[in-house]
Amino acid sequence: MKRHVVLELSGIERHYGQGETRLSILKGANFSLHRGEIVALVAPSGTGKSTLLHVAGLLEHPDGGDVVLNGNACNGLSDDRRTAMRRSDIGFVYQFHHLLPEFSAAENIMMPQMIAGLSRKEARERASALLDYMRIGHRGDHRPAELSGGEQQRVAIARAVANAPLVLLADEPTGNLDPATAHYVFDALEALVRQSGLAAMIATHNHELAARMDRRVTLSDGKVVEM
């Protein structure tokens, strides 16, 4: 049986600058992510991991090639349509949590759901369930600054999956944490992805964590290659 491809990158090009100073980061990168799998993206700093994830997550336009999300080619879409697809189909976790500082942990998780049209009550219930799942149910009323680094990342992960996306993209989500905390946060992330049947691509420098994923890829000369 053919496995369902939820995210396909096809011939992705990304260049910065012009003329003499032009820097080619992605040079015809191809990649397919299948439903239910977790793929590690392991490559040295500066090789284009964040660039690839930003393009895959519809946060940046590629200079060539296309992103196909659940069978829908994104190239010719309007910005409004891309934004709508990003909100419904993609969850993104950054190395630094990027939570809104003025809002509580629970409110940060409620926000994308309310933008998607859920009532405050529905959003609060789901936020509460996700916080419990991430074992920080008692921290929902706290603002990000009152949480530890590991707790902040667990809130950021909960926020990323709040709208039940198809794909979770994580850019060195545990890169800023001490090894024990990184392990704990990664366990929670993995359990959540496995339990929900999401597909995930996770950039990491941690080979031990990468070894636990279903597949490992790297970037070589601007292309994605299997490890």
- Which tokens is 91 given? 């969850």
From candidates 7, 38, 49, 151, binder to ligand ADP by CB under 6 A: 49
From candidates 9, 25, 168, 202, binder to ligand ADP by CB under 6 A: 25
48 near ligand ADP, rule: CB under 6 A: yes
Candidates 47-55, 109-117, 132-140, 159-167: pick the segment binding ligand ADP (CB under 6 A).
47-55
From candidates 18, 21, 45, 78, binder to ligand ADP by CB under 6 A: 45
Q: Which residue is nearest to Mg ion (CB)?
A: 50
Residue number with CB closer to ligand ADP (80 or 226): 226
Q: At what angle do helices 149-161 and 105-115 cross, to 10 degrees?
A: 20
61 near ligand ADP, rule: CB under 6 A: no
Q: CB of 91 within 8 A of CB of 167? A: yes
Name the site residues for Mg ion (rule: CB under 5 A).
Answer: 49-50
50 near ligand ADP, rule: CB under 6 A: yes
Within 207-226, the residues that bind ligand ADP by CB under 6 A are none
- Give the binding-site size for ligand ADP (rule: CB under 6 A): 11
Which residues, at least 6 apart from 204, have a Cβ–Cβ distance to it below 8 Å? 40, 41, 42, 172, 173, 174, 175, 210
Q: In whole angstroms, how close is the CB of 202 to Mg ion at the nearest point? A: 12
Q: CB of 97 within 8 A of CB of 155? A: yes
For tokens 């994923």, what's the residue? 213
Buried/exposed code over 23-43 (b: 16+ C-beta within 10 A; e: otherwise): eebbbebebebbebbbbbbbb
The one-letter code for the residue type at 166 is: L
Q: Which residues are near ligand ADP by CB under 6 A?
A: 16, 23, 25, 43, 45-51
